[in-house]
Amino acid sequence: MSNRDVVHQFNEIADLLEIKGEESFRAVSYRRAARAIEDLTEDLADIAARNELQKIPGVGKGTADRIKEYLATGKIQLHEELTCSLPSGILELLRIPGLGPKKIAVLHAQLCVGSVEELRTAILDGRVAKLRGFGQKTADKLLEGIAFLDRSAGRTPLHVARPIACTLREQVAGLPGVERVEIAGSVRRGKEMIGDLDLLCVAADGPATTAAFTRLPLVRSVLAAGDTKASVLVENPIGGEIQADLRVVPAESFGAALQYFTGSKEHNVRLREIAVKRGWKLNEYGLFEGPVALAGPDEAGIYERLGLPLIPPELREDTGEIDLRDLPDLVDLPDLRGDLHMHTRASDGVCTIEEMALAARQRGYEYIAITDHSHSSVIANGLSVERLEKLIEEVRAANRQLAGSGIVVLAGTECDICPDGTLDYPDDVLAQLDWVVASIHAAQTQDCDRLTHRTLAAIGNPYVNCIGHPSGRLLGRREAMNIQWEKVFEAAAATGTALEISAAWLRLDLKDSHVRRAMDLGCTFVINTDAHAVDQLDQMIFGVQTARRGWATRSCILNTRPVEEVRAFVAAKRK
Ligand code: DGT
Ligand code: CA
Ligand code: CA
Ligand code: ZN
């Protein structure tokens, strides 16, 4: 175990030394030692005990001392110093094809690039091409390299994966002899990032069905095709491919197979244990007592025979769901009555107030809040106080127009939480609004204390009703901010400030595990789309699934309540 750690740390030391532009022989000596240790069949501690570290070919005095230091203290000071002196994302840059330590050193020194995301930005806005020794060609190549890295990370956001799964399901349903087809796997559980797609079907002719599956228009290449199973790669709209598996199962096993292939693996292990305790056997073909099938055709039957309620797929992660006597009253899409975060042309949206309102009405909502950006969000065309006051007038006028149409528009804002923790509008301006979302958009890399302070300061303001996308993460693109969540959740619960579960597909923020913890601490949530155009209102389902994965009940979601209760929630905090 310790051998592998030392190898890892030595390799990182070598990379970091090179990025810092140190003399290359130092880096070379750490790399050589790492390689030598990798080949050892004996524990370093044993060799050190015999005082024979320097007898390992490739290990010299310096590296031997570092090994001793590691064995004695569990860490290597030099490694810590180096990692502290450079941005934490810098080693990730080495994974980009065509990018070595020398170029990284230049990018860091000249452009302050310290992560893959920062490099992507610097390439896209042309700064990399202008660097001496780089040029447009190199910049383009690096961008390709980043796209490769994204793909080889191998996971696809749910929002991208699910439509592909749905298309495949429809196409399989249309194949001759197919009686039934369902999506299983992580897509069914609503996980935020998806490895591959899993489909199950019942069909008259297995081999003909798998063969036809491999010839569907989306399929780019075939990994395997047998009598009951086929695996293919289909085009992934965000680049590269995603794997899809189709299994043909007998009708009498369909429920068992759906249960099995929905997973998660951990959840399935627990179910199998329950079966075994009763002397039964559970697998993808059914629940059996000896040769007798106790359940199999439908999923509910499996759970029922095991003495469990039909656990919703989003909960199947072995995080306590097996021990539940009664299922929580999980929120669901039809429960939502409004969407309290969206943008119009006034800032960076593309639609008018009326367009957003009518589109929301079509989706069955009773109310929306228009929450355009505040003036510090310059790139997003944030509103000055004057423009905000004009927008409030427009919202009031729109409401008069929409009277009787069944939808109410609340005048709101997405007010920036400034780097010092103050809000972008003064209280007397916020007081004119029906609904205030406060979000961090700038200075997201501040230290934990400051970010926590900023969020708490916003929560402490009587006019702030909701913290928008509280962690600031972008799936696969930007890390969540480093915040003391317990403090934030406690303060939000104590002050009557809602926390957003952003349904925007790149955000899903708060994430599932945070939702669950915040709910335990008594928080109220709002599931919002942050739509910038009408079709983005349809992303609500992703927020709902995130909430469900966080065990959120209908009663803790503010926008399942009628508009009068939303107004009462706002009024209660202002009192
Ligand atoms: P993914 O594809 O990485 O996003 O996640 P899943 O959950 O879709 O995983 P996948 O596609 O490997 O398998 C689908 C389900 O099949 C998985 O959730 C549980 C079941 N499964 C797969 N392999 C095993 C296994 O070795 N043991 C058990 N108990 N279940 C398995
Ligand atoms: Ca899967
Ligand atoms: Ca799979
Ligand atoms: Zn927004």
Domain spanning 1-86: CATH superfamily? DNA polymerase beta, N-terminal domain-like (1.10.150.110)
pLDDT in tens, 434-462: 999 999 999 888 889 999 999 999 999 99
- Nearest partner of 356 among 412, 436, 430, 309, judged by Cα: 412
Residue at 29: amino acid letter: S
Whose Cα sits closest to atom 18 in ligand 1?
263
Closest residue by Cα to atom 24, ligand 1, is 265
| Closest residue by CA, ligand 1 atom 20 | 261
**If you measure from the C-alpha of residue 542 to the centroid of ligand 4, how many angstroms do you get, rounded to a whole number?**
16
For residue 156, the ligand closest to its alpha carbon is 1
- pLDDT, one tens digit per residue, over 19-63 is 988 877 888 899 989 988 887 878 899 999 999 999 998 899 999
The Å distance, Cα 196 to ligand 3 centre, comes to 5
Task: Determine the residue of 189, 194, 198, 236 to mutate for testing ligand 1's pocket, defined as the one with the most ligand atoms within 8 A of the Cβ atom.
Answer: 198
- Tell me the pLDDT tens digit for each residue of 486-526: 999 999 999 999 999 999 998 999 999 999 999 999 999 99
79 vs 100, higher pLDDT: 79
- Looking at residue 152, what is its pLDDT? 52
pLDDT score for 542: 95
142-151, 370-379, 386-395, 439-448 — most confident range: 386-395
User: Can you name the CATH fold of 156-248?
Assistant: Beta Polymerase; domain 2 (3.30.460)
Q: Whose CA is nearest to atom 19 of ligand 1?
A: 263
pTM of the model: 0.76
Whole-number average pLDDT of the chain: 93
Question: Could you tell me the pLDDT band of residue 379, with boundaries at 50, 70 and 90?
Answer: confident
Which ligand minimizes its atom distance to the CA of 244?
A: 3
Residues of the chain with pLDDT > 90, as a percent, come to 79
- List the shell of residues around ion ligand 4, using CB closer than 5 Å: 414, 530
**Ligand 4 mean position to 172 CA, how many Å?**
38
**Ligand 1 pocket: which of 242, 243, 264, 265 to mutate (most atoms within 8 A of CB):** 265
- pLDDT value for 36: 86
- Residue list, ligand 1 pocket, CB within 6 Å: 185-186, 191, 194-196, 198, 260-261, 263-265, 268-269
CA 277 to chain CA mean position, Å: 37
> What pLDDT is attached to residue 480?
85
C-alpha to C-alpha distance for 100 and 140, rounded to whole angstroms: 16
Cα of 194 vs centre of ligand 1, distance in Å, is 11
Q: Which residue has the tokens 């008018």?
A: 352
Question: The dihedral of CA 2, 6, 92, 449: what is its sign?
Answer: positive
| CA contacts within 13 A on the Cβ side of 293 | 15
439 alpha carbon, closest ligand: 4
Check pLDDT > 70 for residue 377.
Answer: yes
Peptide bond into 107 cis (omega under 30): no
pLDDT band at 239 (very low <50, low <70, confident <90, very high): low
Residue 39 is predicted with a pLDDT of 77
Length of the chain: 575
Q: Considering only residues 480 and 79, tell me which one the structure prediction assigns the higher pLDDT.
A: 79
The per-residue pLDDT for 452 is: 95
pLDDT above 70 for 335: yes
User: Cβ(453)–Cβ(491) under 8 Å?
Assistant: no
Distance 114 CA to ligand 4 centre (A): 27
Beta strands in 72-125 (DSSP E): none
- Nearest CA residue ID for atom 29, ligand 1: 265
User: What spacing in Å lies between the alpha carbon of 299 and ligand 2's midpoint?
Assistant: 18
Q: Are 566 and 369 in contact (CB under 8 A)?
A: no
pLDDT band (50, 70, 90) for residue 119: very high
Cα–Cα distance between 192 and 504 in angstroms, integer? 12
Q: At CB < 8 A and 24+ separation, what contacts does 137-146 make?
A: 138/98, 141/98, 142/96, 142/98, 142/99, 145/96, 145/97, 145/98, 145/99, 146/96, 146/116, 146/119, 146/120
Q: Cα(261) to centroid of ligand 2, in Å? A: 8
User: In this model, does residue 386 exceed pLDDT 70?
Assistant: yes
CATH architecture label of 333-574: Alpha-Beta Barrel (3.20)
Nearest-CA residue for ligand 1 atom 9 is 185
Q: How far is CA 512 from CA 315, 370, 491, 527, 552, in A?
A: 10, 26, 19, 12, 9
Residues 552/514, Cβ–Cβ less than 8 Å? no
pLDDT in tens, 259-315: 999 999 999 999 999 999 999 999 999 999 999 999 999 999 999 999 999 999 999
Three-class secondary structure of residue 344 per DSSP: coil
Q: Give residue-wise pLDDT tens across range 136-188.
A: 999 998 988 887 676 656 688 899 899 999 999 999 999 999 999 999 999 99
Q: What is the 3-state secondary structure of 153-196?
A: CCCEEHHHHHHHHHHHHHHHHCCCCEEEEEEEHHHHHCCCEECC
- From 183, 186, 194, 281, mutation site for ligand 1 pocket: most ligand atoms within 8 A of C-beta: 186
pLDDT at 287: 97
Percent of the chain exceeding pLDDT 70 equals: 98
Task: Say yes or no to pLDDT of 474 above 60.
Answer: yes
Instruction: Report d(CA 462, CA 426) in Å as an integer.
Output: 12
Rounded distance between C-alpha atoms, residue 78 and residue 9, angstroms: 10
Ligand with an atom nearest the CA of residue 197? 2
Point out the least confidently predicted range of 94-103, 322-331, 439-448: 94-103
Measuring from atom 30 of ligand 1, which residue has the nearest CA? Answer: 265
Q: Which residue has the tokens 């399901």?
A: 169
Backbone angles phi, psi at 63, to 5 degrees: -70, -35
Q: Of the bound ligands, which one is closest to the alpha carbon of residue 467?
A: 4
Q: Are 67 and 44 in contact (CB under 8 A)?
A: yes
Provide φ and ψ at 354, rounded to 5°.
-60, -40
Ligand nearest to the CA of 472: 4
Please, which contacts does 45-54 make with residues 24 or more away whose CB atoms are closer than 8 Å? 45/2, 45/71
Kind and range of the H or E run holding 67: helix 61-73
Confidence at 3, pLDDT banded by 50, 70, 90: confident
Residues 470, 506: Cα–Cα separation, whole Å: 14
The Å distance, Cα 264 to ligand 2 centre, comes to 9
Topology of domain 253-323 in CATH is Beta Polymerase; domain 3 (3.30.210)
Hey, where are the domains in the chain? 1-86, 156-248, 253-323, 333-574
The whole-angstrom separation of Cα 22 and Cα 216 is 55
3-state per-residue secondary structure call for 375-428: CCCCCCCCECHHHHHHHHHHHHHHHHHCCCCCCEEEEEEEEEECCCCCECCCHH
Ligand 3 geometric centre to CA of 248 (Å):
14
* pLDDT (0 to 100) of residue 482: 86
Does position 69 have pLDDT exceeding 80, yes or no? yes
Among 187, 232, 268, which residue has the most ligand 1 atoms within 8 Å of its CB, making it the best to mutate? 268
Nearest-angstrom CA–CA distance, 108 and 261:
45
pLDDT digits (tens, 9 = 90+) for 192-233: 999 999 999 999 999 999 999 999 999 999 999 999 999 999
